[in-house]
Structure 1
Amino acid sequence: MRLRFPMKSAVLAFAIFLVFIPLFSVGIRMIPGRLTAVSATVGNGFDLGSFVEAPEYRNGKECVSQSLNRENFVSSCDASLVHVAMTLDSEYLRGSIAAVHSMLRHASCPENVFFHLIAAEFDPASPRVLSQLVRSTFPSLNFKVYIFREDTVINLISSSIRQALENPLNYARNYLGDILDPCVDRVIYLDSDIIVVDDITKLWNTSLTGSRIIGAPEYCHANFTKYFTSGFWSDPALPGFFSGRKPCYFNTGVMVMDLVRWREGNYREKLETWMQIQKKKRIYDLGSLPPFLLVFAGNVEAIDHRWNQHGLGGDNVRGSCRSLHKGPVSLLHWSGKGKPWVRLDEKRPCPLDHLWEPYDLYEHKIERAKDQSLFGFSSLSELTEDSSFF
């Protein structure tokens, strides 16, 4: 007999699991954060809002790191650490903070994670202000902020199906080999609209076999042709670039990357070449994704789908609600138009947005929570009346 669980019950059960799982993670010691808030308002009046200081997640005795044995100095070059790269900007700051919080909360050795945060040179909030806010929210976080010069790519960007996809910072992943310190040989790249509900070390331990440069969950059942225009497929030469490969769609919001091979193979230039072709002849509509498909599809290390439950933001036009894919979940990804913090603030959340909420450190959400029901239930009686939960 198959049991069917209503969406609200499934979300509540999963949310309870997420809240309590850190208590059983080996190696973590959690010290509650202070009930103070940090905020920033930049010179042009742009308010970043206030964030509550995160709990302090410390390594247990089972965790070992060479850096941590040297007077608590942590180097961005330490290959024994887990290296995570993300963008950091004023618009998606709340998502980035929640993503970092989720990784620390579920990491087996949180002090062994190093964050490489990439901020745009001309963000309304300067990289310096963003860095200060991250430090205030996570006082013991191992991180470094890099400045991305938007003029590096701005003349290569074509119009997209959604304006947000034209943001130059979306293309920072193309330049990781140049932006990050040359000593960084390997990195996990993650979008800012994700939360990780598993130990990030498991993803870090992915082996890139053969000559593969990147690893990512692949979706070979997806209609690969739709990611390119009819002009691409009707061209006498362009489709031939997939010759000898079996290309599958993959989402670039979660990638394990070998930066040594990336730099040696000049993959930045390969991606730029396709962007230049796009400027002359429109061959795709979806921002920064298609060049990655053109260069890597068919030669990607396949990672378990649990590491990118993507599409939770709905499509690129309506941003409608989506449900989880079948199977276990280690990472939830709100790719698409809808973002959980926006929908929660507007009091029109999708059921799965409540799974993101426990990691949100934005101060104002605490006041909002007082007026809202637990995980979307209007009352405790509604929860208990849902007998299928028990």
Structure 2
Amino acid sequence: MIHIACNIDHQFIQHCAVTLVSLFINNPGQVFCVHIVAGSLPQEDQDLLTKLAAPYGHTVRFYFPPADLLKNYSIKKFGQRISMATYYRCMFPSILPETVDKVLYLDCDIVIRGDISAFWNTDLEGYGVACIEDIGSQEKERYELLHYDPADSYFNAGVLLINLRYWRETHVDRQCETYFLTYPERIRFNDQDLLNVVLHAHKKFVPLTWNMQDGFYRTGIRERVNDWKAFREELLNPVILHYTNKKPWNYDSMHPLRAEYFVYLDKTPWKGWRPSHSVKTRIKRFFKLLPYALKWRKPKYINLDKAVG
């Protein structure tokens, strides 16, 4: 049994469906139990996800923590783009069943493109989490704000293989809450900052293929890479593709692997939906992309077809 956890609200039900379908399709033979944590979720959304998993032989469980569980938290950045549900990650020890010792947390702006068993089987003995370095890990300001050694680096919290037994033994949930109450001015990236503060010395980094973030496809990444040929192969073939910035469902997304999202969307009840269906949206996309097509503006993303050698 592989345990998966997602934090969502109604606005992300479509994208959660895409993440889960991509996981199920590309991991035949595995048995998944998906734990959906939400402040609230309409019954029709619960039924949709349950019915989505059933043909593949998987189960979905829902958790609706009490409203006051997050009373000491607040969103520090991104306005309405991020909901309070993001802090449920910090509170997993008190939300998920004690019989679950390990869980793979996934954001729902993700597409799974291959077998995750090697990641799931990562040895977590002595570690709180297995994770992937964040694209912003070289920003010195993060460590100055959070007051820990940059040598420990900084991970992205959108994909986390969590050692729940360790989290319970060390009271990670309590540590996060205490830090937020004590140093709210230090927090910029919400629960991601908190988890880095608490776990920076108790994490295991794994390869980028398990969380290939948007920023790794951006123009300028080549200057940060020693072996470009090998890195390009990772960009072309990530197992977990994470749309961390502009989302593929945004009409103006230019991500080179944007189409991957729609491959799996078409295997959900939203089959055929596209952000550019309306004439108005197509016109907006045309004018948004025109300066890049005419080379009036520098490309935001590298061209994977030409980025050879």
Q: TM-score, normalised by structure 1?
A: 0.61
Pair 1:169 & 2:85 matched? yes
Partner of 1:226: 141
| Partner amino acid, structure 1, of 2:33 | F
Q: Deviations over 1:346-374 (max 9, x none)?
A: 365543211211011455551649979xx
CA contact (8 A) 1:217 1:308 kept: yes
| Partner amino acid, structure 2, of 1:182 | E
CA contact (8 A) 1:85 1:189 kept: yes
In structure 2, the CA distance between the partners of 1:370 and 1:264, relative to structure 1 (3 Å rule), is closer
What CA distance in whole angstroms lies between the structure 1 residues aligned with 2:247 and 2:271? 15
Pair 1:289 & 2:192 matched? yes
What CA distance in whole angstroms lies between the structure 1 residues aligned with 2:220 and 2:271? 23
What CA distance in whole angstroms lies between the structure 1 residues aligned with 2:175 and 2:81? 20
The correspondence of residues 285-324 of structure 1 with structure 2, limited to 5 A, is: 285-311=188-214
Q: Give the alignment partner of residue 32 of structure 2, picking from 104, 113, 131.
A: 113
Pair 1:247 & 2:166 matched? no
In structure 2, the CA distance between the partners of 1:312 and 1:246, relative to structure 1 (3 Å rule), is closer
Pair 1:95 & 2:15 matched? yes
What CA distance in whole angstroms lies between the structure 1 residues aligned with 2:80 and 2:66? 18
1:208 alignment partner, SS class: coil
In structure 2, the CA distance between the partners of 1:339 and 1:100, relative to structure 1 (3 Å rule), is same
Q: Deviations over 1:366-386 (max 9, x none)?
A: 1649979xxx9xxxxxxxxxx
CA contact (8 A) 2:72 2:177 kept: no
Q: Give the alignment partner of residue 191 of structure 1, picking from 78, 89, 107.
A: 107
Q: Give the alignment partner of residue 160 of structure 1, picking from 65, 73, 76.
A: 76
What CA distance in whole angstroms lies between the structure 2 residues aligned with 1:309 and 1:170? 20
CA contact (8 A) 1:118 1:147 kept: yes
Number of residue pairs matched by the alignment: 268
Q: Give the alignment partner of residue 132 of structure 1, picking from 11, 22, 47.
A: 47
Pair 1:182 & 2:98 matched? yes
**Identical aligned residues as a percent:** 20
Partner of 2:300: none
Q: Deviations over 1:41-98 (max 9, x none)?
A: xxxxxxxxxxxxxxxxxxxxxxxxxxxxxxxxxxxxxxxx111111232111111100
Q: Deviations over 1:216-271 (max 9, x none)?
A: 1235993253225x6x47xxxxx3xx36x831111011111111111111111111
The unaligned stretches of length 5 or more in structure 1 are: 1-80, 234-238, 315-319, 377-386
What CA distance in whole angstroms lies between the structure 2 residues aligned with 1:268 and 1:253? 17
Partner of 2:259: 354
The correspondence of residues 1-390 of structure 1 with structure 2, limited to 5 A, is: 81-110=1-30, 112-121=31-40, 125-126=41-42, 128-140=43-55, 141-157=58-74, 159-164=75-80, 167-209=83-125, 211-218=126-133, 222-227=137-142, 232=145, 239=147, 242=148, 246-279=151-184, 282-311=185-214, 326-328=232-234, 329-336=238-245, 338-341=246-249, 343=250, 346=251, 349-361=254-266, 363=269, 366=272, 368=274
| Partner amino acid, structure 1, of 2:137 | A
CA contact (8 A) 2:89 2:191 kept: no
What CA distance in whole angstroms lies between the structure 1 residues aligned with 2:220 and 2:18? 20
| Partner amino acid, structure 2, of 1:246 | A
Q: Deviations over 1:308-344 (max 9, x none)?
A: 1013699xxxxx99989644211110113x2212x2x
Q: Measure how far apart 1:130 and its partner are.
A: 2.1
What CA distance in whole angstroms lies between the structure 2 residues aligned with 1:198 and 1:287? 30
CA contact (8 A) 1:227 1:286 kept: no
CA contact (8 A) 2:137 2:155 kept: no
| Cα RMSD for the two superposed structures | 3.3
What CA distance in whole angstroms lies between the structure 1 residues aligned with 2:63 and 2:186? 32
Q: TM-score, normalised by structure 2?
A: 0.76
| Partner amino acid, structure 2, of 1:104 | F
Q: Measure how far apart 1:201 and its partner are.
A: 1.6
| Partner amino acid, structure 2, of 1:334 | Y
In structure 2, the CA distance between the partners of 1:360 and 1:323, relative to structure 1 (3 Å rule), is farther
In structure 2, the CA distance between the partners of 1:339 and 1:170, relative to structure 1 (3 Å rule), is same
The unaligned stretches of length 5 or more in structure 2 are: 223-230, 279-285, 287-304
Q: Measure how far apart 1:285 and its partner are.
A: 1.7
Q: Measure how far apart 1:275 and its partner are.
A: 0.8
In structure 2, the CA distance between the partners of 1:347 and 1:156, relative to structure 1 (3 Å rule), is closer
What CA distance in whole angstroms lies between the structure 1 residues aligned with 2:10 and 2:219? 25
Q: Measure how far apart 1:208 and its partner are.
A: 1.2
2:123 alignment partner, SS class: coil
